[in-house]
Amino acid sequence: QQQVKQSPQSLIVQKGGISIINCAYENTAFDYFPWYQQFPGKGPALLIAIRPDVSEKKEGRFTISFNKSAKQFSLHIMDSQPGDSATYFCAASKPRDSWGKFQFGAGTQVVVTP
């Protein structure tokens, strides 16, 4: 049973368009929500992260929107570029989890066409 549900499974967007990936969670104890980016043949790498005390965080073309009451958060990729083609994973962790474990979503494969 996945504690973090991610959608869509795949996404095709034209260059310059906006990519939107959504995640939902049930456990209100989650207190940290990172997004990881994975290129083919590589390991995932941290892209951007947010805590629930803010509703939005922006880093360059990447923005996380967080809705605590709905227990949802999303990643927006503005002005999508072919180099953004990758698999994106949302994740969540609990503050009292002394082991630093993450619960990952199933991943979204994003393809940006030229």
Partner 1 sequence: DAGITQSPRYKITETGRQVTLMCHQTWSHSYMFWYRQDLGHGLRLIYYSAAADITDKGEVPDGYVVSRSKTENFPLTLESATRSQTSVYFCASSESAGLQETQYFGPGTRLLVL
Binding stretches for partner 1 (CB under 8 A): 2, 6, 9, 31-32, 34, 36, 41-46, 49, 51, 89, 95, 97-102, 104-107
Query: Of 16, 2, 21, which is closest to residue 76 (Cα–Cα)?
Result: 21
Pair 32, 95: CB distance under 8 Å: yes
Q: How far apart are CA 11 and CA 9, in angstroms?
A: 7
Pair 90, 103: CB distance under 8 Å: no
Least Å distance, CB 99 to partner 1, is 5
Least Å distance, CB 114 to partner 1, is 26
DSSP states along 28-53? TT--BEEEEEE-TTS--EEEEEE-TT
Nearer to partner 1, 32 or 76 (CB): 32
Nearer to partner 1, 38 or 65 (CB): 38
Nearer to partner 1, 17 or 38 (CB): 38
Least Å distance, CB 13 to partner 1, is 21
Query: What six digits make up the tokens of 12?
Result: 């095709």
Nearer to partner 1, 69 or 98 (CB): 98
